[in-house]
């Protein structure tokens, strides 16, 4: 799912519309909203234990893993090579990312070659590339990934409290910024309090830098 917050909000709007039209009563609307909220929390917990996911509202550098060479950029699902080679008069961009039941794929307009995206990894033309997020749109505003470790730690702590207290409004505000940050949960201690202090991987921080290539 590309936008958990947007999906939950849409479900609430649909329930409100049904209530306005008189198709459901207030109690049924409440129940539908509760189901939408429960699904949101379930998705959040699933994402916390999974690798990063491609987001259509984000901008990425596409970096070759074994060489660190910048292949190009994906800007809100539109791909352009870093080089200025002509793409043909009928194409205003080099490729586009599509999401469907069969997964996420990058289709190049001129050659029609297709690459597959799994998590934040692109496999194309026999090579592997890492998608490094450089910008994300959150509630209509462009944000750069957070790269301040102290601010990130504070945001994670706020999110943990909000999740424990099921404070949806507080959690929704911070989750996209945590997900798009330059850091991610430590894969060794999983930011568990009892294991974090002595963790050799994150040296007590509970998080590590995301790979940049």
Cα separation, 100 vs 161, in Å, equals 34
Question: Which is more confidently placed, 154 or 140?
Answer: 154
Q: How far, in Å, CA of 93 to CA of 110, rounded?
A: 9
Give the tens place of pLDDT for each residue, 160-187.
Answer: 898 888 888 888 888 889 988 999 899 8
Burial of residue 27 (number of CB atoms within 10 Å: 0-12, 13-18, 19+): exposed
pLDDT in tens, 188-200: 998 988 899 999 9
Provide the pairing of β-strand 114-118 with 78-81.
unpaired
Query: Judging by DSSP bridges, how do beta strands 183-185 and 141-143 pair with one another?
Result: unpaired
Share of residues in the chain with pLDDT > 70 (%)? 90
pLDDT of residue 7: 79
Across 126-142, average pLDDT: 89
Q: Is the pLDDT of residue 69 over 70?
A: yes
102: tokens are 């069969």
Among 107, 110, 140, smallest CA distance to 122 is for: 107
Residue extents of the structural domains in the chain: 1-50, 58-138, 145-213
Q: Which own/partner contact pairs does 147-151 have at CB distance under 8 Å and 24+ positions apart? A: 147/181, 147/182, 147/183, 149/183, 149/205, 149/207
pLDDT for 49: 59
Q: Residue 87: its pLDDT value, please?
A: 57
pLDDT band at 74 (very low <50, low <70, confident <90, very high): very high
How does pLDDT run across 100-120, given as a tens digit for each residue? 878 899 998 766 678 999 888
How much is the pLDDT for 111?
63
CB 15 within 8 A of CB 32: yes
What average pLDDT is seen over the chain? Answer: 86
Strand 183-185 vs strand 78-81: parallel, antiparallel, or unpaired? unpaired
Interval 35-49: pLDDT, tens:
988 888 887 777 665
Asked if residues 199 and 190 have their Cβ atoms less than 8 Å apart, the reply is no
Q: Rounded CA gap, 37 and 31, in Å?
A: 10
Q: In this predicted structure, what is the pLDDT of residue 179?
A: 86
Cα distance between residue 207 and residue 48, in whole Å? 13
pLDDT at 212 over 80: no
pLDDT value of position 85: 60
Is-above-0.85 flag for pTM? no
């Amino acid at each position: 799912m590309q936008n958990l917050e947007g999906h939950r909000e849409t479900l609430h709007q649909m329930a409100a519309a049904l209530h306005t039209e008189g198709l459901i009563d207030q109690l049924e609307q409440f129940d539908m909203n509760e189901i939408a909220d429960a699904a949101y929390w379930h998705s959040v917990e699933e994402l916390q234990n999974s690798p990063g996911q491609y987001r259509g509202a984000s901008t990425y550098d596409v970096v070759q893993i074994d060489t660190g060479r910048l292949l190009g950029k994906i800007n809100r699902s539109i791909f352009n090579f870093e080089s200025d080679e002509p793409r043909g008069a009928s194409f205003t961009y080099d490729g586009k990312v599509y999401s469907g039941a069969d997964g996420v794929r990058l289709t190049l307009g001129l050659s029609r070659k297709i690459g597959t995206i799994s998590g934040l990894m692109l496999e194309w033309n026999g090579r592997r590339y890492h998608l490094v997020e450089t910008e994300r749109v959150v509630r209509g505003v462009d944000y750069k990934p957070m790269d301040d470790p102290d601010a990130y730690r504070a945001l994670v702590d706020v999110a943990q409290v909000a999740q424990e207290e099921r404070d949806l409004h507080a959690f929704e505000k911070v989750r996209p910024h945590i997900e798009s940050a330059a850091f991610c949960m430590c894969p060794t201690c999983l930011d568990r309090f009892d294991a974090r202090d002595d963790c050799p991987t994150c040296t007590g921080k509970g998080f590590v830098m995301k790979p940049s290539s």
